[in-house]
Each structure stands twice: as structure tokens, then as C-alpha cells.
């Protein structure tokens, strides 16, 4: 009963009631839960590229963003590149932080916790001996990723920690980063 009243008082801008309705609808209609996300990427010269997202499939039909969005990627000067944009691995770290941050807001809303500010610092360690092919025993990707949250909210430290923990349990990018998955790359 307390939970009900608390849900009404916190407003983090996440419509949990609508999310709950969506969850119910997708529970009753499992095929509608099958989504396919897409991005198209084009080479802009050097190691600079531009990815665009617009359409995706979900809820049983083709969907699209209200407008196309683009993300460019390049590499900084220490890679002998002109540094036109973020590196792809920084985009991955950003995606992880965004996914967890969105999750924090949604979980806090669901638990009736009013947030005032949420900041996440993400660091990923990488040994370039991997991608440069210097040492076959070193992996290309991150050897470790650290996310540190600073959260101001009307809740105890443990309650905030529990929100962050739950956000990880429900995060797509956290899962993508922490678990193996099959990737197939083909030439059209």
C-alpha cells in the first residue's frame, strides 16, 4: 500500500505505468516482443565513419524513429587520425552508461524514489597490444570496465545501491558487454 502512494509522488519523467502496460501486452503476445535493431554505417575516408539509425522492427511491424539519428566515429591524433569524432570503443562505453542511467531512472520511478541528479563515469582499460597484433595473448577489447555512479536522490545509500544493482540486471548493453554472443559478418 505504501508502494502505491510512493509511486505517485516520485516523478523522474519515466512513465512506468505505460511501461507496465507494454510489459503486459508483450507477455500475452510473445511474438510482438521480437525486435530487430539496425544501423547503417558509411565510410567517410580514413578511419572516419558515420552510422545512421532510423528504422527498426518490433511490436510485430516496421517502426521508425521520428527522425534519423547519426553517430560518427573516428580516432584521435595518437592513432595518427584526424579526430573527427569519438572512437567506437568510447561509443560502447557511452552506450553502457546510457543504458544503465536509463535503467536507474526507470527502476527508481518504479520504486517511488525521486532522483535529483545522476552522473556516471565510465572507464574501460585496453591494452593496444591486442588490436595492433603485437601479442596474441592480449584480447582486442576491454580487459576491465568500471562504472561509477554519483546519484542524488530521496533515498538511503543502500536503496540507491539496490536501484543501480537492479538496473544492471535489466540492462541490454550490460548483458551485451558481459556475455558472449554470436556475430556473423558477411559480404553482401
User: Where along the sequence are the contacts to other proteins (CB under 8 A)?
Assistant: 3, 30, 143-145, 158, 161-162, 165-166, 168-169, 174-175, 177-180
- The C-alpha atoms of residue 91 and residue 95 are separated, in whole angstroms, by 6
With the C-alpha atoms ordered 26, 170, 65, 116, is the resulting torsion angle positive or negative? positive
Give the residue with the Cβ less far from other proteins, 52 or 168: 168
Give the CA angle between residues 84, 90, 91 to the nearest 5°: 85
Give min distance, CB of 73 to other proteins, in A.
24
Rounded to an integer, what is the distance from CA 38 to the centroid of its chain?
A: 15
Contact 75, 86 (CB under 8 A): no
Give the residue with the Cβ less far from other proteins, 104 or 174: 174
Give min distance, CB of 30 to other proteins, in A.
7
Give min distance, CB of 120 to other proteins, in A.
14
Give the residue with the Cβ less far from other proteins, 52 or 166: 166
Give the residue with the Cβ less far from other proteins, 126 or 177: 177
Q: Within 13 Å, how many C-alpha atoms sit on residue 110's CB side?
A: 15
Contact 96, 174 (CB under 8 A): yes
Give min distance, CB of 167 to other proteins, in A.
9
Amino acid at each position: 500500500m505504501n508502494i502505491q502512494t510512493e509511486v505517485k509522488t516520485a516523478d523522474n519523467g519515466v512513465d512506468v505505468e505505460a511501461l507496465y502496460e507494454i510489459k503486459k501486452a508483450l507477455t500475452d503476445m510473445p511474438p510482438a516482443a521480437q525486435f530487430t535493431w539496425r544501423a547503417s554505417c558509411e565510410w567517410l575516408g580514413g578511419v572516419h565513419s558515420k552510422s545512421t539509425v532510423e528504422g527498426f522492427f518490433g511490436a510485430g511491424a516496421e517502426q521508425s524513429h521520428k527522425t534519423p539519428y547519426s553517430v560518427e566515429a573516428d580516432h584521435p591524433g595518437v592513432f595518427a587520425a584526424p579526430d573527427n569524432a569519438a572512437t567506437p570503443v568510447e561509443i560502447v562505453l557511452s552506450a553502457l552508461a546510457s543504458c544503465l542511467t536509463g535503467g536507474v531512472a526507470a527502476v527508481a520511478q518504479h520504486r517511488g524514489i525521486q532522483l535529483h541528479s545522476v552522473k556516471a563515469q565510465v572507464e574501460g582499460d585496453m591494452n593496444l597490444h591486442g588490436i595492433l597484433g603485437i601479442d596474441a595473448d592480449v584480447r582486442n577489447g576491454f580487459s576491465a570496465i568500471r562504472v561509477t555512479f554519483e546519484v542524488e536522490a530521496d533515498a538511503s545509500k543502500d536503496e540507491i545501491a539496490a536501484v543501480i544493482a537492479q538496473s544492471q540486471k535489466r540492462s541490454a548493453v550490460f548483458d551485451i558487454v558481459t556475455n558472449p554472443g554470436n556475430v556473423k559478418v558477411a559480404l553482401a
